[in-house]
Amino acid sequence: METQTLINWLSDHFELATTAFFAIISAVAIYFRSRQTKNGKKTLAKSLAKNLGEPLTLHPEIDPVKCLGCGTCTAACPEGDILKLIDHKAVLVAPTKCVGHGECEKACPQSAITLVFGTKTRGMEIPRINSNYETNIQGLYITGELGGMGLIRNAIKQGVIATQHAFKQLKQSPLRSALSATSTIDLLIIGAGPAGLAASLKAKELGLNYLCIEQNSFGGTVFNFPRQKIVMTVPADLPLVGLMKFKANHVSKEELLEFWNGVRAKQALNIQEHTKFDSLQIHELGFQIGYTHTKNEVKAPQTIIARKVILAIGVRGSPRKLGLPNEDLAKVAYNLIDAEQYENKQIVVVGGGNAGVEAAIALAKDTLHNEVRLLVRGKAFDRCNETNQNLVQQLANAGRITICYESSVKEIFPETLTLDLTGEKKSIANDYLFVFAGAEMPQKFLATLGVAIDQKFGEALAA
């Protein structure tokens, strides 16, 4: 009888203990969910208050019906607090910080996330490409920034996918046997940035007869970044190489270029620098491409026939200009590679995005003794991440940068500039003018090739 009483007592208390345990777990979960919602709403409100509510590139769109609120997407994002849970649903709370990694989409167990271009209110013009990055012109591919997607890791992935698809199509082509009797190559890759490098490595791995040309220097867009700029925070896989490994998670321009140059030398890649792509025409064997050697002496235009072509040229080669007289003066520049070249100068930087702000920060280094003005078109920064905003504001508070909102350049002269400062014209002494007004997507050029251009309003890449 005593044994049965003991069993009953343990059974009753076990149920009470179990109930209490689950009550505690539930209370803790509710607390953390409430805290996440509060933090998420706070971050979103902060973004909206700073005019940072519109994503600038490829970004996640969350289906609230499918979203379980599990939070796997928020933990997967390598850029930090970009996605947050608000009322048990994932929300993009820091849109301008998103760079399109796509880790959130991969991590979502419910397929509730889709990567899209543009928003319902802000359209984005991009070339028409399918999931293999082939345009509406069969055999012509577009990868990287030119296709509307930034980020080095994305560009590498796209270069590989495009090359794989081109290889499959070439294998199925009955004309492939005719290549040995002609000067035709299998694949021409235009641009030696991350997409071009990855495509070259994949082409070599697959045994394709390929050539990669670059109008400037190997590295493409990365080569033209400012010194010591952090260019990678998440490692990427390269064909024939594997995972790019570095000592630190944040990789500078110099570290990345050194690694890439080592890969190029070890793999003996067929990359030709200082070779400008001039024209592309449909040919019976594929495409006829015109190009010009630009280093040292200008040589006569040459042509090559390629069965397949990958355009990996980026968009930084076509900076958006101000459209003012004298903009061709030597003092006007559209990128900044080495700020140390400028000392004791009166400098104006145009552009409230990350590129312009980073240039202003570099030029305002205390050892350079420059007088730096940063002109922002709007009432606030709307295309600049919070980290850069904080840095430039600190320099402004210290008197090393003058931030001019609602301001623009009206006239350019050899030794002065006329500025519009919130409606008031003012002439100032000026040694250098740096313009970071974004890049012109070469839509007209692509149209001349026959590439269709679509405007995306929150739409995914074609399946």
Write down the pLDDT at residue 276.
87
Write down the pLDDT at residue 348.
96
**Which region among 180-194, 208-222, 249-263, 349-363 has the lowest average model confidence (pLDDT)?**
180-194
Q: Write out pLDDT tens, residues 93-117.
A: 888 777 777 788 888 888 888 888 8
More confident residue, 427 or 38: 427
332-435 CATH: 3.50.50.60
Both tokens of 235, joined, read: 């490692």
Quote the percentage of the chain above a pLDDT of 90: 37
Write down the pLDDT at residue 316.
62
Side-chain-side CA neighbours of residue 309 (13 Å): 28
Q: How many whole angstroms separate alpha carbon 89 and alpha carbon 287?
A: 49
Q: Write out pLDDT tens, residues 253-307.
A: 889 899 999 999 999 999 999 998 888 888 888 999 988 887 766 567 788 999 9
3-state SS assignment for residue 145 = helix
Write down the pLDDT at residue 215.
87
Domain boundaries, the chain: 2-117, 125-318+442-460, 332-435
pLDDT bucket at 14, cuts 50 / 70 / 90: low
More confident residue, 365 or 177: 365
**Which region among 23-32, 71-80, 330-339 has the lowest average model confidence (pLDDT)?**
23-32
User: Is the pLDDT at 11 greater than 80, yes or no?
Assistant: no
218 and 260 in contact (C-beta within 8 Å)?
A: yes
2-117 CATH: 3.30.70.20
Question: What is the number of H-type helices and E-type strands within the chain?
Answer: 9, 26
Both tokens of 123, joined, read: 């359209």
Dihedral sign for Cα atoms in the order 437, 310, 101, 454: positive
Dihedral sign for Cα atoms in the order 151, 154, 156, 162: negative
- State the burial class of residue 5 (Cβ atoms within 10 Å of its Cβ: 0-12, 13-18, 19+): exposed
288 and 309 in contact (C-beta within 8 Å)?
A: no
Using left for φ > 0, alpha for ψ between -120 and 50, and beta otherwise, residue 366 falls in alpha
> From the CB of residue 12, how many other CB atoms can be counted at a distance below 10 Å?
10
Write down the pLDDT at residue 185.
92
178 and 235 in contact (C-beta within 8 Å)?
A: no
- The pLDDT of 408-419, averaged and rounded, is 94
Please give the C-alpha separations between residue 26 and each of 30, 286, 320, in angstroms, as whole numbers.
6, 64, 55
pLDDT bucket at 181, cuts 50 / 70 / 90: very low
- The pLDDT of 147-164, averaged and rounded, is 86
- The pLDDT of 11-27, averaged and rounded, is 64
List the beta bridge partners of residue 434.
333, 349
Domain 2-117 and domain 332-435 have a common topology: no
User: Is the pLDDT at 2 greater than 70, yes or no?
Assistant: no
Write down the pLDDT at residue 117.
80
125-318+442-460 CATH: 3.50.50.60
Q: What is the DSSP string of 319-331?
A: BPP---TTTTSTT
Instruction: For the chain, give the mean pLDDT.
Output: 84
Q: How many whole angstroms separate alpha carbon 443 and alpha carbon 463?
A: 23
- The pLDDT of 121-149, averaged and rounded, is 85
Write down the pLDDT at residue 462.
59
- The pTM assigned to this predicted structure is 0.74
Write down the pLDDT at residue 24.
67
pLDDT bucket at 180, cuts 50 / 70 / 90: very low
3-state SS assignment for residue 413 = coil
pLDDT bucket at 161, cuts 50 / 70 / 90: very high
Length of the chain: 463
Tell me which residue of 426, 429, 424 sits closest to 413, measured CA to CA.
Answer: 429
User: Is the pLDDT at 326 greater than 70, yes or no?
Assistant: yes
Q: How many whole angstroms separate alpha carbon 142 and alpha carbon 148?
A: 10
pLDDT bucket at 127, cuts 50 / 70 / 90: confident
Write down the pLDDT at residue 34.
65
Residues whose CB falls within 8 Å of the CB of residue 448, separated by 6 or more in sequence, listed in order: none
> From the CB of residue 168, how many other CB atoms can be counted at a distance below 10 Å?
12
**Which region among 148-152, 237-241, 324-328 has the lowest average model confidence (pLDDT)?**
148-152
Write down the pLDDT at residue 177.
47
List the beta bridge partners of residue 91.
84
- The pLDDT of 160-164, averaged and rounded, is 95
**How large is the C-alpha radius of gyration of the chain?**
27
Q: How many whole angstroms separate alpha carbon 229 and alpha carbon 253?
A: 6
